[in-house]
Chains A and B, each alone.
Chain A
């Protein structure tokens, strides 16, 4: 249809008033354009006009002066001699046509009715059905049905938020059933935001949404892990054993003392952890990145908010849909560090002996055996995820029920993890105006855990010691003269470590939604979260080697319980008046967080399988401790969304939160935000351009808070510290307690403030989409543990308070290109990047740094530092300028004052830069060595489909980041070395000026220095997936409606220079990026099936 039409009036859609109550009109117009005259008639009556705009352009101006005249007569009068005819249809539609066409008379009123459905056959209520070229139309009812009377050659336009518009010519048919397709245009997609949803185009903040299916595609336990590389500015570190959650940092590190992870809101309930969710149950994940979007979550928003919507059933004919999604595969260590062999090890230990002035302890290194401990303890580990769901709905209710099973073996042979979960979601429409519903999630997980130090043990274990002797007993390091520092056989560690964790989680919410007075919606919901974890640890009596034995058995049982609830009520007013659209939300909420932990241990419990009871042990050895906490939050919030002419957008919100964690005078916090948007493409001057489909400029500002800090910070507490136990002369003891803190001046939550400016553009017929953001996020009054004078005598040497300000500033980019080459070929490619700069702006103690020693030996061997003007937790230490080659070399290294700088050094030791030139190497010579906060994180995500095949390739990486390779220097004696170290070590003059001698753990070589700091940048193929969907004709008569099979590889190819296990290290702020005892990097290879009945 090549008809260019003009929409003359913008009013509410549902205007089709019946009857001719206002068919008389009074007008008095002089010399006006015909268009104006028609508008005047529309304003005064219920009539609407349908015409081709070109039709009116050549008509001279008209005079109209009528009083209470029927509209038909008025039109007869003003259209006289214009060559235009008209016809009034039943529903007040007046069609204007050139008289010469002559077809007008043949046009008939036709009653068209039908049913509109959405994706998966869902009933769509509220779909707007309009006659093209007019604003005349109707909307579908609760059952997705519509009925409209139109001219029989009209074109109907069906539109619904989140779906592609569809135009269908009536062509005389009286029944038109329509199935709408979900929109693939980013700007049209519905994005879940705090307490509501919005079209992406209408957002004034920075929100990224990822579909559930994209997450479920990947072979990760946590759906959040699967976001890695998918969202600009979101850094995810996947580290840790099976079942452990990833670390997530949205726009940099936002807090130091509290929990730096974001708030998760699942179907309206707030969580710190979402390990109860199976990825297959997720409909969508929204990441709120800017302060204005986050601030509606007030006191919990400072580290970003992730909103998760779970799948709901769809209203259809009541026939259930059964889905099965399953995959299974293997995890394989991808970056196995090669350790020195037995003979290489003995060679180096001998060298170490000589360096320390002792005789070499191994007489014949060449003939010794070799144990590859990694090979012995690690395995290729099985992993699977299985889920079955039954979903469906009738006209008035929907349901979704799923059962899931996840099982992941750890890379360490004894390590296992499994989880069973269910998800139940029901919605009921009790009346046209009242909806109720409930969601329940349950999960049970079990794990056999690993000794926390096993990975460093594998690194250090002496390779000249066999796992077992010929008689089956354990190889004993003591028999191989391995030093006391290295007296373990990792097999023993693994065999005698018994730690089982079982976690029960049950949570969910119930809601009711009442619509009244046309524009109002009242929503109330109550959610609860119950969680209990049980940890049983049993140390049996055993004698494996001289050093690895246990003479007294001990059973330790702990129980931790969380019982939280949240109640929220919101009232929404949604209205469009002419050019003005309003949406006003006000809300109120209350929350409670309750924790109780109990731990008990007893000695001499006999070994046994199954449950062991504390009462079987020796009563006098029993030890009991418990602790608990309770906090409550009360909240009020409100938000206004306003748009004018769909061009100018305003969002303003305010939240007030009161938390019992803080003292009365500091209890309430107020979190305002404002966002502005300008949809440039809706401006008149943009009408003639064809490059941009949509172009929007937005800016926002907001305040956010963080209360995820320990409770009672501002209360003086008495501690029953074990160190305060009184020991009497006859061995009697009694409990002691003391105040060992200094009261900080009242603490309150951390205050965040963020500004965001963004540009969103959809171009070239929505094939190209680009988004650019600049942000500046400040955390003010951050709760910081800062050092105080030792003379005050606190135990910790620190004082907690709101005493720091830091900043994350950066850019984010997203570019997506999506196209269809022909009906067989589709593809999309999307690239995103986040550049962030983290900086401490202010600490109340002034320039005094906060030091941390992580994975280093020796007293106060600090390797990270947090100081004003620098990023949080930067690496810090001595600058290595070479390796001493000889005694002469050592005595030649003098300061300008002639002082020998490192008189105690030995050849093969690091030569440190005497930064201040005073002839002594001490802490004043330490310099910044690196930054654990990445400057750049990026991802590239591609999809290609050809006929029934689909291929996904996701790339991801970080750059501008360093890792502290602490494994190298964390030595107390004769720990093993890497093969790389063996090959490159200094072992005589001229052998190396970079690697030190085997004495790397001795002299002053173990001190934090630049040798240990390495480039932590990496790039990898995060995910590769090839899928094949069976063509429909193959599935005929099978009852199967869809069957897809795929193969997948995650983390299969990694590219980095780092010499350790994995550059993806993570860690708490001020202690991050230190590689010691990290879980090895692994790839997962799996195949899977998606099946729908």
Chain B
């Protein structure tokens, strides 16, 4: 872990190859569907929906890959035979284009919402929101504005009033939720109830807690404005009691843990992973509003930018007028900083910060002192094991050889 914190991870770091392989496993499953389902005779509506859901999931995996590695091998079909096993990296522009194509298709054909057992399936809003994010990483601000406006215009999403409770199991798939990875504790079937998302980030050193990875830093604590309620809904401090009533002993190894992934200890069932019930929130409405604000500011639509930004602050305020006043600056640079700041605290511990900082061109400033190097650390190294297996067909990113 230290190697990631210090930007010294090398190409042989196992976590990297696990991430790489994990994304391609997902892509393989999507390609299985996309290549095999068209030939099946089945309900045409359902068939079309399955194909579009697969396109969204494939786009999501490629997005995570291209954001992390830059150029990556692009597979849009199953390999026909062994000659198609070993393919080189595709320039990232083409990967971005393929992602956008998939998302356009998905947004055009998927329904706006679902009910009952289908809640949690991929919606039009999810495809649009992901498309906005994809555009944002390419600084295509017109596209970001277009797709976020479309999400807002769907009229099905709203900010959930209680920031802390939004992340609890009972509020999964709430009005703010756009895309969540669905998990569950399935009685009698621990093998299928295997999400470790909450477990690995759980409070270490207490029963029913977790492993205590991905812990917040003091720098993050300091980033919150005075009185911001989101601080205590983002971070569990040792020696405190959570809103759900779990006392965290002062003896636990780390001073802080991720609150957003936390599942109350009382929900622990022996034989299952701690917190396996916790859905992974991938896209939520506040994210869309902040992307909308950032795009409008970049495009000079200051008022629209402020409106979206302040919606997020207003919810965070939870009725307390003494904190988090509305942002009013119309200076483009100052507003940009305000949006970036809001994005950091609103979305803290939700896995965008690192890529945001690089996207914003601030990595050398913010991460430089910790060892981040320009022209190298913008992307991670391609896993050495994959380069070895490819017999040199896959090439390494600059600075990692």
Contact = CB atoms under 8 A, between A and B. Distances in A.
Interface of A: 356, 358, 361, 478, 481, 483-484, 487, 539, 546-547, 549-552, 554, 601-603, 618, 620-623, 722-723, 725, 727-733, 738-740, 742, 745, 787-795, 797, 845-848, 858-861, 904, 920, 922-924
A603 B187 contact: yes
Contacts of B366: none
Nearest to A550: B270
A725 B386 CA distance: 29
Which of B11, B87, B253, B389 gathers the greatest number of chain A CB atoms within 10 Å?
A: B389
B45 interface: no
Given A788-B85, A860-B17, A924-B12, A723 B192 contact: yes
A620 B188 CA distance: 8
For the complex of A and B, 8 pairs with smallest distance between CB atoms: A860-B14, A793-B28, A729-B119, A923-B12, A729-B120, A790-B21, A722-B191, A722-B192
B189 A722 contact: yes
Nearest to B209: A484
Contact of B182 (A484, A729, A739, A742): A729
Contacts of B109: none
10 contacts: A483-B205, A603-B188, A722-B189, A738-B32, A787-B389, A793-B25, A794-B28, A859-B14, A923-B10, A924-B12
Contact of B116 (A730, A789, A793): A730
Nearest to A478: B207
A382 B73 CA distance: 62
Nearest to A845: B389
A790 B386 contact: yes
A358 B189 CA distance: 40
Contacts of B233: none
Interface of B: 2, 6, 8, 10-15, 17-18, 20-21, 24-29, 31-32, 73, 75, 79, 82, 85-87, 114, 116-121, 172-173, 182-184, 186-189, 191-192, 194, 204-207, 209, 251, 253, 269-271, 383-386, 388-391
Contacts of A552: 269-271
A602 B188 contact: yes
Contact of B24 (A484, A623, A793, A861): A793
A725 B192 CA distance: 7
Contacts of B251: 361, 481
Given A549-B270, A603-B188, A730 B206 contact: no
A729 B14 contact: no
B21 A797 contact: yes
Contacts of B182: 727-729
Contacts of A547: 207
B391 A846 contact: yes
The residue in B21, B184, B188, B251 that gathers the most chain A C-beta atoms within 10 A of its C-beta is B188
Contact of B10 (A723, A745, A920): A920
Contacts of B207: 478, 484, 487, 546-547
A795 B271 CA distance: 24
B49 to A, nearest CB: 13
Given A623-B188, A859-B14, A860-B18, A484 B114 contact: no
A789 B18 contact: no
Nearest to B172: A729
A1023 B185 CA distance: 54
A738 B34 CA distance: 13
Contacts of A846: 391
Q: In this complex, which of A731, A732, A790 has the most chain B Cβ atoms within 10 angstroms of its Cβ?
A: A790
Nearest to A742: B79
B24 A727 contact: no
Given A727-B182, A738-B32, A789 B386 contact: yes
Given A539-B271, A790-B17, A793-B21, 20 more contacts: A484-B204, A484-B206, A487-B207, A620-B188, A622-B188, A722-B192, A723-B194, A725-B186, A729-B117, A729-B182, A731-B184, A733-B186, A740-B25, A742-B79, A791-B24, A846-B391, A922-B10, A922-B12, A922-B13, A923-B10
Contacts of B391: 846
Contacts of A859: 14-15, 18
B264 to A, nearest CB: 15
A971 to B, nearest CB: 14
B271 A738 contact: no
Contacts of B86: 789
Contacts of B18: 859-860
A792 B21 CA distance: 9
Contact of B8 (A551, A733, A845, A920): A920
Q: Which of B20, B116, B207 has the most CB of A within 10 A?
A: B207
B29 A923 contact: no
Contacts of B75: 791, 793
Contacts of B183: 727
A733 B6 contact: no
Nearest to B371: A903
Contacts of A618: 187
A792 B79 contact: yes
Max chain B C-beta neighbours (<10 A), residue from A481, A797, A846: A797
Nearest to B205: A484
Contacts of B192: 722-723, 725, 733
A550 B186 contact: no
Contacts of B386: 789-791
Contacts of B269: 551-552
Contacts of B79: 742, 792
B175 to A, nearest CB: 13
A622 B187 CA distance: 8
A727 B184 contact: yes
Contacts of B173: 729
Contacts of A924: 12, 384
B29 A738 contact: yes
B388 A861 contact: no
A178 to B, nearest CB: 71
A358 B172 contact: no
Contacts of B11: 922
Q: Which of A481, A725, A793 has the most CB of B within 10 A?
A: A793
Contacts of A792: 24, 28, 79, 85
Contacts of A739: 32
Contact of B389 (A549, A789, A861): A789
A723 B181 CA distance: 13
Contacts of B186: 725, 727, 733
Contacts of B29: 738, 740, 793
A923 B15 CA distance: 13
Nearest to B272: A552
Nearest to A745: B82
Contact of A904 (B2, B31, B114, B117): B2
Nearest to B203: A484
A787 B20 CA distance: 14
Given A551-B270, A623-B188, A846-B391, A923 B384 contact: yes
B17 to A, nearest CB: 7
A239 to B, nearest CB: 28
A517 B26 CA distance: 71
Contacts of A539: 271
A742 B18 CA distance: 19
Most A-side CB within 10 Å, residue of B18, B184, B204, B251: B184
A794 B120 contact: no
Nearest to A487: B207
B401 to A, nearest CB: 10
B310 to A, nearest CB: 30
A723 B189 CA distance: 11
Nearest to A921: B10
Contacts of A794: 25, 28
A745 B188 CA distance: 38
A789 B85 contact: yes
A941 B385 CA distance: 49
A789 to B, nearest CB: 5
Contacts of A550: 270-271
A795 B13 CA distance: 20
Given A552-B271, A731-B184, A859-B15, A790 B383 contact: yes
